[in-house]
Chains A and B, each alone.
Chain A
Amino acid sequence: MSEILTLDDVRITYQTSSGGVPAVRGVDMAVQTGEVLGLAGESGCGKSTIAGAILRLLPPKTKIEGSIVLEGENVLEMKPGRLRAVRWTGASIVFQGAMHALNPVQRIGDQIAEAITVHQQAGEKEARVRVGSLLEQVGLPTRRMRDYPHELSGGQKQRVMIAMALACSPALVIADEPTTALDVMVQAQVLRLMKELQRDLGVSMIFITHDLSVLVETSDRLAIMYAGKIVEEGPAETVFHTPQHPYTEALAAAFPEIGDQRFRRKPLGLGGDPPDPAAVPSGCSFHPRCPKAFEECPVIEPELYPAGEGRRAACLLVPAEKPRTEARV
């Protein structure tokens, strides 16, 4: 297996009128060929910022440090022409909120074909044939290509967005909260479709969401983000079922299980608000909300310590607990 995308010490700082706001504070991440990486975390933790940085879609003034290597090429050093060529052919995005990502005054077929013709992968006629087969793949009849976005339901629009993301056969698909505005039934259908397509086509995928239960079903590996850093990563199943970081634990516990007595009266959750990116707490940025915090937490900033097979977690408790972890794995 080779790495299709490698992020090395990526730091992203938004420039605002009141100074720089660090949204991503040193992220190392790799996506293998054919792998689905789930990226989870609360709102404002930097998930979507990473997605935008991979295709350089962030506001022009934003400072991006480190390196983002997509298929052997550093995206951050690309010239504008090369960048335009790599967009969508190297990596594509399924945007959050499909209802707004489609132009209301164009037929959906034309919008999918747009991706193909922009990159001159095919002429008008070929593009239409390809659009037809793409629509069939996402479970929409070919004739739907003549519809305008307002004639489709939310789930259908999201299917169109998926078809569009696959239009140029990219090596990597970034799904940025693809199921947010959908109801649970449609959400399940869309997720199943994405999983099937991913398996059939063998594309790599980054799946971004705040819904950890969704990620467990769709991802091979999980990376949990908090305040612009990855706090835990590892195989999806084990991270979800035996979390090492207290934050992951809180996220995993936030999903009630039917029949579980603990969820009878009130859902388990995490108190407090995500930290302001402009003023991140010292030491471990999670310590003000952490139920297990002790005196060293506000002082020492934890790195990602090895925590079992293929797993890493950024918590000071991990090195100490290591024997217990191994016993569990």
Chain B
Amino acid sequence: MQAPPLRPQTDPPAPVREPESLPELRSPRRIRWIRRRRALARFWKEYRKSGMGMAGLIILVLFLAMALFAIFGDDAGVDPSRTFGPVLAPPSRDYPFGTNDLGISVLTLVVQGSKISLLVGLTATVLSMTIGAAVGVIAGYRGGGVDNLLMRVTDFGLVLPWLALAIVLASLIGQSLGAIILVIGVTSWPATARLVRAQVLSIRERPYIERAKALGGSNTHMIVRHVLPNAMPVILANTILTIAIAILSETALSFLGLGDPTKPSWGTILEDAFSAGATTLGAWWWIAAPGVCITLVVLAFTMCGFAMDEIINPRLKNR
């Protein structure tokens, strides 16, 4: 149907007013930019009030710097194959975190491991969130039989002992970084799917969804344009918390010897220490250094997640 002009007597519809025609006013794009910057500043101001969030952020920045140093830094200093010293030396000025049974500086190992641990944690999270959000949105939006089927699959994923499933999968797929990411990604989405579904169930009943339906929008149109953008805060807040879990999962799998031996992560260091008998040898530094790193990073992500959750979801503020 060709749209007839609404006001037949007037000339063609007025073109969108360009910023140039209003030199005394700031252009809309600039206003928008200022508004965005202000919104971000507001978020930052709120965030800064949270001591927990700031502590987490500082720790994360330090570890991120460490990982970047491992990626781009001077090889001679951090390459594990070249940094030899006395075997199983306790922490000293030359080797702040001591050395392992091959005489490699534990500090070097930890710095190298940070890059793998963070990389696996982040990519596995992206995979997990994608699957979880897709399942949650489809289940919540379609409802009925589709919802039932998807939720039973999700329940199955939730009740299955995670570690057992991950071990079986990892031994099936093989030992590589990609395999570890895949294993963590496909085993950690059910909780996200549940969360997203709950949110979508509430969004689905909002009047603008009915409006979009009356507009003649298809299901895909409504999910992409209206459901997903409104479910995004929940998905994002959940992402930060999932990263912590993913890093922990990677450590567990590597500790069990399912990781990629050529790309040592913190979990791999722990495994080496364990199998070399670091505990009986009294080499506490070999275990403590990666252990503290894992604890700190996971804690930091969790703290940031909570702090952001509090800002995005003001109802939590008084807890």
Contacts and interface: CB of A to CB of B under 8 A. Distances in A.
Interface of A: 55, 57, 84-89, 92-93, 95, 97, 100-106, 114-115, 118-119, 121-122, 128-130, 132-134, 136-137, 142-143, 145-146, 166, 168-169, 200-201
A166 B206 CA distance: 22
B9 to A, nearest CB: 9
27 contacts: A87-B213, A87-B214, A87-B215, A89-B1, A100-B206, A100-B207, A102-B211, A103-B208, A103-B230, A104-B230, A105-B230, A106-B225, A106-B226, A114-B225, A129-B16, A130-B3, A132-B15, A134-B6, A136-B13, A137-B6, A137-B7, A142-B14, A146-B32, A168-B1, A168-B3, A169-B3, A169-B4
B216 A85 contact: yes
B14 A118 contact: no
A311 to B, nearest CB: 32
B229 A95 contact: no
Given A95-B207, A130-B13, A146-B32, A118 B6 contact: no
Given A55-B214, A106-B229, A100 B13 contact: no
Contacts of B14: 132-133, 136, 142
Contacts of A97: 207
Interface residues of B, number: 30
Given A103-B208, A105-B230, A168-B3, A132 B13 contact: yes
Contact of A100 (B208, B212, B225): B208
Residue from B212, B216, B218 having most chain A Cβ neighbours under 10 A: B216
Interface in B1-24: 1-4, 6-7, 13-17
A57 B15 contact: no
B214 A88 contact: yes
A89 B3 CA distance: 9
A55 B15 CA distance: 33
A103 B226 contact: yes
A84 B216 CA distance: 4
A244 to B, nearest CB: 35
Contact of B1 (A114, A121, A145): A121
Contacts of A143: 17, 28
A129 B211 CA distance: 22
A169 B6 contact: yes
A100 B212 CA distance: 12
B210 interface: yes
B96 interface: no
Interface string B118-145: 0000000000000000000000000000
B221 interface: yes
Residue from A57, A118, A200 having most chain B Cβ neighbours under 10 A: A118
Given A121-B1, A134-B6, 20 more contacts: A85-B216, A89-B216, A93-B211, A95-B214, A100-B206, A100-B207, A103-B226, A103-B229, A103-B230, A105-B229, A106-B225, A118-B216, A122-B3, A129-B15, A130-B3, A132-B13, A133-B6, A142-B14, A146-B28, A166-B6
Contacts of A93: 211, 214
Contacts of A142: 14, 16-17
A76 to B, nearest CB: 16
A274 to B, nearest CB: 23
A118 B222 CA distance: 11
Contact of B216 (A95, A119, A122, A146): A119
Which 5 A-B residue pairings sit nearest by Cβ, starting from the closest?
A133-B13, A87-B216, A100-B207, A101-B207, A103-B208
Given A121-B1, A133-B13, A146-B28, A84 B218 contact: yes
A62 to B, nearest CB: 14
Contacts of A168: 1, 3
A166 B6 CA distance: 9
Contacts of A129: 13, 15-16
Residue from A92, A97, A133 having most chain B Cβ neighbours under 10 A: A133
A105 B206 CA distance: 13
B229 A118 contact: no
B261 interface: no
A114 B212 contact: yes
B217 interface: yes
Nearest to B15: A129
A88 B214 CA distance: 6
A102 B210 CA distance: 10
A118 to B, nearest CB: 5
A38 B199 CA distance: 38
Contacts of A86: 216
Contact of B208 (A84, A102, A128, A201): A102
Interface string B245-278: 0000000000000000000000000000000000
B204 to A, nearest CB: 12
Contacts of A105: 229-230
A200 B16 contact: no
Contacts of B230: 103-105
Contacts of B3: 121-122, 130, 168-169
Nearest to A197: B6
Nearest to A136: B14
Given A104-B230, A121-B1, A114 B215 contact: yes
Nearest to A110: B225
A209 to B, nearest CB: 18
